[in-house]
Structure 1
Amino acid sequence: MTIRELTAADAEEYWNLRLEALQKNGEAFAVTYKESLARSNPIAGVRNNLASENSVTIGAFIEGHLSANVTLLYNQHEKMRHKATIAAMYVSPSFRKAGIGRQLLEAAETTAKKNGIELLQLTVVTTNKSAITLYRDFGFESFGIEKKAMKQNGNYIDEVWMNKMI
């Protein structure tokens, strides 16, 4: 397995993994699969995101294929530049429970520290017990629950807010 920062050259493979994530675990993401498919020229948008100075996406490649990812979103406001948000974390189901998520978090934390980040934060749906356990085991602490954070097919989804000083 290789873990590295994704570049604009990885846009198509990232897009395919993102669509997989939205199909298999759509409840965990704010955007829907249908909304994503409706985007005009999505690969160009992904290329721009992967080249942005405001974020970094790290991928895990297994046998040469992107199989997991995590994104760090950097705050642009002066008083909030010490924080970054972990977003869009996903491990393809066939590779779960193999420590890949933890390795991605380690890479994200290392990258964040190099960029002067002191605090990582994230949200995770309350029903994703394995992700919550992973984050807690990695040192994240819960500091609240946002009730009705999302609504899908008439059902509300709550999210746990977590953070970690690094």
Structure 2
Amino acid sequence: MIYGKGGCPVKIRQLSAVDAEKYWNLRLEALQEAPEAFLTTYEDAIKRENPIAQVESNLSTEGNYTFGAFDGDELIGVVTLIQEKAEKIQHRANIFAMYVTPKKQGAGVGEALLTEAIDKAKSIEAIEKINLSVMASNEPAKKLYTKLGFKVFGYEEKAMKLNGVYLDDEHRVLHL
């Protein structure tokens, strides 16, 4: 358990199929609130057939670990750690879909989520490093990743184009 601003208790745990609807609703919020942070658009997401079933499947897939931060029963943040499956790259894992609802940002929730994902990676003997990508303009996220030891190993100009504007990506790695 961690405590956010105002002493609000926040619990971090790995999500399971029973959390699929809460995850999907937060994911839709994320796509609306921070469209520059995700490859999927809100418009594409809402067109998916059976999205809750897809999320249930993802949350039950071996090597796929999604952690949620809860304020009471409300899911307020998520992060996913996925171990590579191919034999030659099983020593790698990737961080995806990191998001904290705006009203809880800056309260330590993101750090707690990411720490939980890193701890999970460390508990898996095969994983030696974690990769992630972050928009080069996302200073709060970059500050958090740096604080937790992620180093820049690459920079991709024009990685994404959103509403006619190009956005650059930083590629980061944490060696365990």
Instruction: Please give the range of the TM-score, normalised by the shorter of the 2 chains.
Output: over 0.9
2:155 aligned with 1:145: yes
User: Secondary structure of 2:166's partner?
Assistant: strand
Aligned counterpart in structure 2 of residue 13 of structure 1, from 22, 27, 36: 22
Query: Which of 143, 167, 174 lines up with 1:157 in the alignment?
Result: 167
Q: Which runs of 4+ in 1 moved over 3 A?
A: none
Normalised by the length of structure 1, the TM-score is 0.98
- Read off the aligned partner of 1:34 and give its amino acid letter: E
CA distance in 2, matches of 1:9, 1:49: 12
CA distance in 2, matches of 1:115, 1:38: 36
Q: Which runs of 5+ in 2 are unaligned?
A: 1-9
2:90 is the counterpart of 1:70:
no
Question: Aligned partners of 2:174 and 2:124: how far apart in 1?
Answer: 16
Aligned to 1:131: 141
Q: TM-score, normalised by structure 2?
A: 0.92
Residue type of the alignment partner of 2:133 = T
Q: Deviations over 1:32-79 (max 9, x none)?
A: 000000001100000000001131100000122110000001101111
Supply the AA of the counterpart residue of 1:118. E
Specify every segment of 5 or more residues in structure 1 that has no aligned partner in the other structure, as ranges: none
SS in 2 for 1:115: coil
Aligned residues: 166
Alpha-carbon distance in structure 2 between the residues aligned to 1:20 and 1:112:
27
Q: Does residue 54 in structure 1 map to residue 63 in structure 2?
A: yes
* 2:100 aligned with 1:91: yes
**Residue 111 of structure 1 corresponds to which residue in structure 2?**
120
Cα distance in 2 for partners of 1:13, 1:40 equals 17
> What residue is the counterpart of 1:45 in the other structure?
54
Amino acid of the structure 2 residue aligned with 1:36: A
| 1:165 to partner: Cα distance | 0.8
Percent identity between matched residues is 47
Q: 2: distance between equivalents of 1:36 and 1:54?
A: 23
SS in 2 for 1:97: coil
